[in-house]
């Protein structure tokens, strides 16, 4: 169970780190941190970027893939029943990414359509799905679905922190 939890938490922390120190100042997470830390926050961001330079692939594409990986693991063995239909939440992250990219392509929502986002998210989703089908399905602790469902919703809402406030 420890390995499962770490597999969810570490990618989210890495993603948050990248958004915090490398993405635009107008992202909601950065606006929140700037409000809390005031003027010190910008100088810390500069120092981190100088100490750990990252390729644009790691800055703009990797965080989404890491988020997809984590939330796919959270969605393992979770489902919603609506009337006589069962919706497995393990598929929700990749469907969300595809729909978001299509909406960006059609310019219905903010953002830029990016095939690389789709490719990286798909790879991370497949890795998490494979992990779900082997290790996660045998864990007895996953039967506490109400807590995991709440965590799934919370992790899904983290998308808002990555949004730009312009």
pLDDT > 90 in the chain, percent: 43
Q: Residue 84's Cα: distance from chain center in Å?
A: 30
Interval 56-75 mean pLDDT = 93
Q: In the structure, what pLDDT confidence band is assigned to residue 18 with cuts at 50, 70 and 90?
A: very high
What pLDDT is attached to residue 163?
Answer: 66
**How many structural domains is the chain composed of?**
1
Q: In the structure, what pLDDT confidence band is assigned to residue 137 with cuts at 50, 70 and 90?
A: low
Interval 153-165 mean pLDDT = 70
Residues β-bridged to residue 79:
88
Interval 46-69 mean pLDDT = 94
What secondary structure letter does DSSP report for 25? T
Going by C-alpha positions, the residue among 91, 140, 114, 135 that lies closest to residue 3 is: 135
Whole-number Å distance between alpha carbons of 77 and 88: 7
The predicted-structure confidence for 76-116, as pLDDT tens digits, reads as follows 877 778 888 888 888 999 999 999 999 999 999 888 899 99
Q: Which residues contact 93 (CB under 8 A, 6 or more apart)?
A: 67, 68, 71, 72, 75, 121, 125
What pLDDT is attached to residue 141?
Answer: 45
Is the pTM higher than 0.85? The answer reads: no
Q: Which residues contact 35 (CB under 8 A, 6 or more apart)?
A: none
The two tokens of residue 89 are 């939440």
What are the backbone angles phi and psi of residue 111, rounded to the nearest 5°? 115, 170
What are the backbone angles phi and psi of residue 135, rounded to the nearest 5°? -80, -50
What pLDDT is attached to residue 161?
Answer: 66
Task: Return mean pLDDT, the chain.
Answer: 84
Q: Where in the sequence is the domain holding 57, given as residue range(s)?
A: 2-162
pLDDT > 70 in the chain, percent: 87
């Amino acid at each position: 169970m420890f390995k499962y939890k770490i597999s969810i938490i570490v990618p989210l922390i890495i993603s948050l780190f990248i958004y915090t120190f490398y993405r635009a100042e107008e992202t909601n997470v950065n606006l929140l941190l700037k409000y809390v830390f005031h003027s010190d926050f910008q100088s810390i961001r500069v120092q981190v970027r100088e100490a750990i330079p990252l390729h644009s692939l790691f800055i703009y594409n990797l965080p989404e893939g890491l988020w997809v990986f984590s939330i796919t693991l959270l969605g393992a063995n979770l489902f919603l029943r609506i009337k006589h239909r069962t919706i497995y939440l393990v598929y929700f992250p990749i469907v969300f990414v595809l729909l978001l990219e299509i909406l960006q392509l059609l310019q219905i929502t903010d953002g830029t359509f990016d095939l690389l986002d789709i490719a990286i998210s798909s790879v991370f989703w497949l890795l998490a799905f494979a992990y779900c089908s082997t290790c996660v399905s045998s864990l007895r602790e996953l039967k506490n679905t109400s807590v995991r469902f709440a965590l799934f919703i919370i992790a899904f809402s983290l998308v808002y922190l990555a949004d730009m406030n312009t």
